[in-house]
Every structure is written in structure tokens, then in C-alpha cells.
Chain A
């Protein structure tokens, strides 16, 4: 069926959809440990050599992508394992951060561990086996159009008061960019200030900016990461309706979770939307001279790459090929299927912005760019299992402290919240700020 418009949901062909589609991958995994370690050439120390929070924390093989491939075989082949007990525990204690995916693709050409992990979650959700906390989140999404517990739809626009942002959702006004704050910036009192700051900075640099007003909602991406495909798709469709009505503006978001949802998850559904992360736009504005950072910020910082802006932030590429064996037994996808190895994520833009701030000194952690260690919040883990989520965050703070930096900078509210206040293995916390905080200081 021909596609009617860029906002019509027509899930893309080619890629695997349901758990059974992954069965060949489950059997073709070669147990290389690429899903447990930073790609081996890039390991810089024994202390910070691991990449997957889940198996790092829980230790049983089951909690790695390899373990989940084997679990998938057990489920599909002979039913020796069912959706219960530690199978469920391992399925949902996954941030869907994609580190395993990057590690795997360094050497393998025909495995998709991240997509497989999510397929496991989806099957568990279908069977009604999701944890209560996540079910509540999904219900909240359906009802309040946000996944933040306790948040009300009616309160969503409070953050924008006083900003005089154009409401483009009703079709009267237009803007080149629609500011899409995401739930954290919309509801969290501390983060609301930062959302305002983003808007102020962009407007000051001359960006034609509006927002969706009462049509502003959750992106729903996190529901997809948690395995709630139905809820995610419904939310995506709802957003698509709003955006279409608003004239299909380009979307700018300060939230990396939203960025990933719009860039990749929506694209997989066939919803095409042009999205940039706010730091990308700010970097452009600095480069073009429209934004000048003059004041020195005397601070030593380290930058935490959010998973969904970095390795998962690669542009989506449609593919509709076939699989074929050549040379007797060499499995191929023809034509070449896109390999999301994290290479083309958004890494330089935030660093360019930071580099433009006078006096600021960036010291890198060992695990950066496509090999960044997750903050721990992904995949619903911060709601479902705070102990695990905090442990993962603590590991990141420990790594950040090892650089000698005074603060962690990031470009995602989920990361910022999850890393803030968490203590490292030395028992001390570290200030965590958003890129915009430093930009605002330097203006």
C-alpha cells in the first residue's frame, strides 16, 4: 500500500519485527564477549572496561545480550524457559542503551542484539508479564500522555509560561523549529529552568521557534524501549497527528531520549520527522557566528555522552533487502543492510559547544562516544529498579571522578537526573549540569 504522507505510520520493511524473526541470530551469536566489554581495541583500563550495565551488575550470563540470545533459543526452541522468574528479571533489567549492539557490530555483520532484547520485552509485555511498575508507566502514558509518575497532562505547559513561544499546534502560527521539551523538562521543577534557558538562547540567536502548545506530549519512545510497542505506536501516531496539523516543522529537542525516539524509533514506524538535538542547533549557531560565547567559565568538566544522542543517535536508513547465502554458507543481506554501529551518532556537536566556552576545560572519560557507559536510567530501569539504576549511575560518577574533572556535563535530562546526587565508589557525588547551563553562563 502506498504511503500517504510522511506522518502515516507504515512500519518499514526488511527489519525483524517479532521474536521469532530473531531465531537465526540467536543461533548465530558466537559468544565473543563483545556485549560485555567495550570494543577490545578501545578498552583503556581494566576498571572501566565493561560496556553492559546489566551483566556488569547482575553478573549471570543471562543478563548479557549473549545470555538473552540463549534465553531466546530456550524460549523458542523447546520451551525450556518461560517468561517468569529470572528470565523476566533479565529481560527488563536492560537499559536498552545499545552498548551491546555497538560491541557486537565491531565483528559481526548479521546480529541485532539490541532489537532482540526489545523483542523479548515486547513478547513479555504481550504475555502480560511486565513488572507492575512498568505497566503503571504505560498506563500513565495512555492516560496522561507522559510517563512520569504522578504528572498530569494539564500541567504540562507550565514550564513555558512567560516565554511567549509561538503555539503552532492550532495552525495559525508557524515556525521553522518546534521546541519539543520532553517530559522531564516539561514537568521537573529544576529542569524547567533549563528548558527555558534553551528557548532563550535559541531565540536570542535568532531561531524561529515555536512549540506545540497543548498538543505537546510525551514522545513515547521510552515505552518502546520497555517493550510496550502498542502504547508507543499509539503515542507516536498521536504526535504525528499534531505535527501534521502544525505544518510539519523541524523539531528541536533538548532531550536525548526524545531525539532518539523521533530520529530512529519513529522512523522505524515510517513516521518521518526532521529532528535536531538542541546542542546540534547551538553548535551550528556558534559556528555561523549567530551565537557568541564570551564570558569565561573557569571549570574543568567531563562530558557524558547520552546513549540516545550518541551511539543510538544515528540517522535511520530504510532497507528492504533479502538474505542470501553465498560461497555455500556465508550469510549475507543484499543489498548491504545498514549497520548501526554507533559511528555516526551526535558526539562532536556538544563537544564543539563546550570547546567554544572560554576557560572551560574538557577532560574525557575512558568510555566515551559510542562506548559511553549508560547513566542507568534507560529502558524504564530508573522507575522499575532504582537500586540497579543508581548502581549504574554510581559507576559513571566514579569514572567521571577518575578524570579529575569538577563536574559532569550532559545533554539529556534523564542522564542529568540519574547521575545527580549519586555517589561514586568513593562515597562522593559530583555536580551534574546540562550543556545549556554552561552556555548560559558564557553568554
Chain B
């Protein structure tokens, strides 16, 4: 173990680097950077705990400042973690001898319109990157986490797929050049950025060093601090800014004539899966997501009614749920998905509409009439295009955790859906901690990879972050669904994805604990190599246990610090 080495000298050095106003060890500030995990669980928990309190919080304003801070941390052996929008527990530190970097001061976005590139600093969020892109007829992939999250964090730090991924690819695929302050304080600039200061390619030279900065999940803040990235932008055939009509909060996109939003109603899950294959092959979707089912099979239409009528609130839910028309809509949309088509020309839109209709015909699906109403369609367009209402994940009960996860292969997952839904429905009926919304509260991306091929599945477990019983019951429910996932051979439940990288008490795991986990995985080499990578790039092991490592056999009984 490292010695506890945070001290006043360290703090004064931080002040020298960023200026007094940009660093604090006042408890009011440092307590503010503890993640209350039940309120922001994101595939970890939910637990009624907080992450450890940082010794100090520092707000760097430039890459150079970040580098100096990281070097200082290495000198004093103080753990650190950087985060920007702090949406999930992974952005927060996991030990007592640590400082938190809040990247809020670095929020610049620059667009190269011709070459369809945006260069983003950490606190540029999806929503602002997107508006800057749209001014130039461009758009960006916004991960399912929503437009309120840092584009850079999604690209460097976590998975990064969402409704737009089928057309625009996922964060990893869009990542071009990037600038990283490595955990040891060195700066690396990937691809073209390293040699010529250009952003357009993040690969190479030769075997891509970028391999170690951004795999499938991203590095969750463990591979130093990513300070700038370039992302590839994508075509946007709409106006320079999407006009919004309506009364807050019932906003609707206005006048997007060449964009169409549909909800598809399927006869069964087989049809659902087959349509995905056809959507992938036809390459017609601009956005594709199973979205509003996240509220639950029995209440989803009522929720959309509430969101589109500003005078309505949740106390109206019971009455809405009993409305025969709404009940009928829910029945039709038991198995559903939202699809947005965008026409780059009239012919293009015509083709996409025809192809879409043909796919629906082939699988025996139909378009939801409810969602064809102008206001509802315009609500869906705005929702999915801007992904501005990510907080609706939380709206129902104030907190949620995603669970199940099923399989990325839609043909494996779809046949299991009703069984999973029944399990959840039973829990809702026999327990009170989880919102009773009709069992199936699955949502997810039609494609977890550019062009299609993998699918995201995530049941929403809505619980009340204020109510401890609700928190505990949700946690128990996810333990149960993990058992079910294990029985089915489906691996980690989504709600437990990060269970191996942070302890339920909010602290990092030790190497010994990680060794006990990862020595049992089917191919332990991938964890052993990550151990070696960490030793090479993060010799002082300063960024916490989100980085999954297994001490290689040759060191397991020997020098393991």
C-alpha cells in the first residue's frame, strides 16, 4: 500500500499550478465531490453509500495544468481522477488519499465543417457539441447517457452508444485524434495529432497506441486525463438549429419535414429481432432506439401524455392508465421500438420510407397510430435528436438502475425478453421497493456498433433515492436478476457491470481482490496484460480500480507491491 502522503505542501503546489480560486480543500467543496451512489448509480449498485471524500478538488484550465497536477500526484503518490459531468460513480475517486479533478473550466468546441470534425474539451457536453455541429449541417453521436454528458468522457471514458449509433457509429468509432496526460504525467497525442497537430486520424502510427486508451468500455478515468479529443461528425439534413415549439416542459420539434419519427409495433419478439437485421442491412435509420418503454410497459403511453401536456403531472398517472385508449396503445406497443428516418434528398426520404414499410411488411409489424399524431411525433423527434431529456431516466422515482443487459445478439436476447419481463413483474408485485410499471421496462439502442450488429438491452429499475427501503429492495432485485442472468449463461447483469471495479462501500478494490476475480475469467490473459499496461503507464497505480488487472502468474507470488 502507498503511504498517505497528501499534505499541505501538496495543496500549496496545487494552488501554484491552478491559482488559489481553482483549488479547494474546504469540506463544503470536497463533500460535494462524493458520489451518492443511490442517486447516480449507473450500473453499480444501487448502494446507500458515498464514495470517499477527496482531499482536495482542483479545476485545471489547460492541458499543461493537468500535466503538472498529475506529475505532482506521482511525486506525492496521491491518487487522482478527472471527471467532467460527474454523471456516474466512475467519475469519482475511490480512496482516501486522492484528489478530484473537475474539468469544468475546459469546455471549448471547435468545428472543422468541411472535414466534419469537432475538437472537444472535457466539459463540452453533447448538447453543445451538437448545436455547434448543426450550424454546419452536421451532427454528432450522442451516447445513451444523453446530451448533458461530456462528449469527451463518453468518447474516452465509457461505452458511448445510443440512438444515433446505428447511423453515426459509437463513441469509440468516432474518436479521431486525442490528447492524453498519461497517469505518469507524460503527454501523448494519438495518431495525426502526435506528429502534425492534425486531428483527423487517431490510429497508428503502426499498431495504434490508442488501443490502451479506449477499448470497449473506455478507461473510466483510469488512463490519466484525456484533455482534448476530435470526433468525427455526421451529416445533418435539418436546419441550423432545431426550432422548438410548445410550453415548457412540453417541447416539440418544429418543421422538420424531412425527418420522420415512427414507433413500430411488433407481433412478437422474433419479428423484433428480424427487423433489426433488416434495418442493419438496409442502412436506412438515422436514429433507432427502444426508448419510452423505459418507463414500463403499463405506463409508457401515460408518461408520454404527461410529458406532452404541461398541465399534467404524475398524480394523473392512475387516471391515464385506466383510459381505454391508452390501454389499447400500450397493448399494441408491448413490443416496440422508435425509429427516426432522415431524408438527405426527397428521393432519399422516399426510398427510406419505402424500405421501412417493406421491412415492417416482411416482419408483420405496423406503425403506432398514437405516435403518428403530429405533437407526439414532434416530441419524439426532439427527444431522440437532441437526447436532451436524459433526466427522464430519473424522473419517475428520482433514481434508476439499469439491469439485465441480456445479450448483444438480438437473436439471443429477444426470445428471453418475456421471461425477464415476467421476473421483473413478479418482483414489482411481491415487493414495494421497485416501481410497478408492468414488468418490461427494457430500453436500449438498436445498435451498439456503427451500422448495426449488436444491441443494447437495459431494464429500468425505478426506485426512490430518498427512500432507503426502496434502495435496498432495488439492490436485492438486481441481485436476483444477476442470478437469473447467470442461470441463463448471460454473464454480468447490467446493474452489476461495475460491481468488480468499486466496492459497495465506494472504495477501490485491492489488487488481491482483483486477482481473485480475474483469475477465474475464461481468458485471464486480457487482465494480465492490463496489469502490465498499468505497470508501464501508471507505475504508481494512481487512478483506482476501475482498471481491471490480474497480477500475472510470474508475479503473483512475488513482487506485487
Contact = CB atoms under 8 A, between A and B. Distances in A.
A31 B39 CA distance: 8
B464 A329 contact: yes
B132 A46 contact: yes
28 contacts: A28-B398, A30-B39, A40-B389, A42-B251, A43-B131, A44-B131, A44-B241, A46-B131, A49-B128, A58-B21, A60-B57, A60-B102, A61-B29, A61-B86, A70-B32, A81-B27, A102-B248, A107-B392, A109-B313, A327-B436, A328-B434, A329-B397, A329-B467, A330-B317, A336-B313, A339-B310, A341-B248, A343-B248
Contacts of B310: 339, 341, 343
Contacts of B432: 328-329
Interface string A60-80: 111000010011011000001
A41 interface: yes
B59 A32 contact: no
Nearest to A49: B128
Contact of A46 (B29, B102, B124, B315): B124
Contacts of A55: 104
Contacts of A329: 397, 432-435, 462-464, 467, 470
A324 B388 CA distance: 28
A230 interface: no
B314 A109 contact: yes
A87 B105 CA distance: 21
Interface string B102-143: 101101110000000000000011011101100000000000
Given A30-B40, A32-B391, A327-B436, A60 B32 contact: yes
Residue in B87, B125, B311 whose Cβ sees the most chain A Cβ within 10 Å: B125
A41 B247 CA distance: 13
A61 B32 contact: yes
A85 to B, nearest CB: 5
Interface string A331-344: 11111110101110
A105 B392 CA distance: 11
Nearest to A336: B313
B222 to A, nearest CB: 21
Interface in B229-258: 241-242, 244, 247-249, 251
Contact of B40 (A31, A44, A105, A331): A31
Interface in A129-188: none
B389 A107 contact: yes
A254 to B, nearest CB: 27
A61 B108 CA distance: 19
Interface in A81-114: 81, 85-87, 90, 102, 105-110
Interface string A2-36: 00000000000000000000011001111111100
B315 A43 contact: no
The size class of the interface chain A forms with chain B is 35 or more
Contacts of B124: 46
Given A60-B24, A108-B391, A326 B128 contact: no
B203 interface: no
B464 A331 contact: yes
Given A87-B26, A106-B248, A70 B31 contact: yes
Residue in B29, B241, B462 whose Cβ sees the most chain A Cβ within 10 Å: B29
Interface string A298-334: 0000000000000000000000000011111111111
Contacts of A80: 27, 31
A39 interface: yes
B180 interface: no
Interface in B24-51: 24, 26-29, 31-33, 36, 39-40
Given A61-B86, A74-B28, 4 more contacts: A39-B388, A43-B131, A62-B32, A335-B315
Contacts of A28: 39, 398-399, 464-466
B26 to A, nearest CB: 4
A216 interface: no
A333 B313 contact: yes
A260 interface: no
B388 A40 contact: yes
Nearest to B464: A329
Given A46-B129, A327-B435, A60 B391 contact: no
A190 B24 CA distance: 42
Nearest to A337: B313
B431 to A, nearest CB: 8
Given A70-B31, A109-B313, A34 B391 contact: yes
B537 to A, nearest CB: 29
The 5 closest A-B pairs by CB, nearest first: A40-B388, A87-B28, A30-B394, A28-B398, A32-B391
Interface string B282-326: 000000000000000001000000000011111111100000000
A257 interface: no
A81 B464 CA distance: 25
A401 to B, nearest CB: 19
B26 A86 contact: yes
Contacts of A428: none
Residue in B28, B393, B396 whose Cβ sees the most chain A Cβ within 10 Å: B28
Contacts of A106: 248-249, 251, 389, 391
Contacts of B376: none
Interface string B8-32: 0000000000000110101111011
A370 interface: yes
B466 A60 contact: no
Contact of B465 (A27, A44, A332): A27
A60 B241 CA distance: 30
A77 to B, nearest CB: 10
Contacts of B462: 329-330
B287 to A, nearest CB: 15
Contacts of A90: 28
A37 B104 contact: no
A322 B124 CA distance: 40
Interface in B377-434: 382, 386, 388-399, 428, 431-434
Contacts of B242: 41
A288 interface: no
Contact of B148 (A37, A102, A328): A37
B187 interface: no
B147 interface: yes
Given A24-B466, A34-B148, A332 B317 contact: yes
Contact of B395 (A74, A102, A109): A109
A133 B249 CA distance: 38
Nearest to A85: B26
B66 interface: no
B85 interface: yes
B153 to A, nearest CB: 12
A27 B471 CA distance: 12
Contacts of B108: 46
A317 to B, nearest CB: 12
Contacts of A325: 464
A152 B361 CA distance: 81
A62 B29 contact: yes
B32 A105 contact: no
B340 interface: no
A426 interface: no
Nearest to A371: B248
Contacts of A332: 313-315, 317
B395 A108 contact: yes
A311 B267 CA distance: 47
B437 interface: yes
Residue in A107, A108, A332, A370 whose Cβ sees the most chain B Cβ within 10 Å: A107
A45 B128 contact: yes
A266 B229 CA distance: 51
Interface string B47-72: 00000000001010000000000000
A107 B394 CA distance: 9
Residue in B313, B317, B436 whose Cβ sees the most chain A Cβ within 10 Å: B313
A305 to B, nearest CB: 14
A32 B108 CA distance: 20
Contacts of B21: 58
A297 B521 CA distance: 77
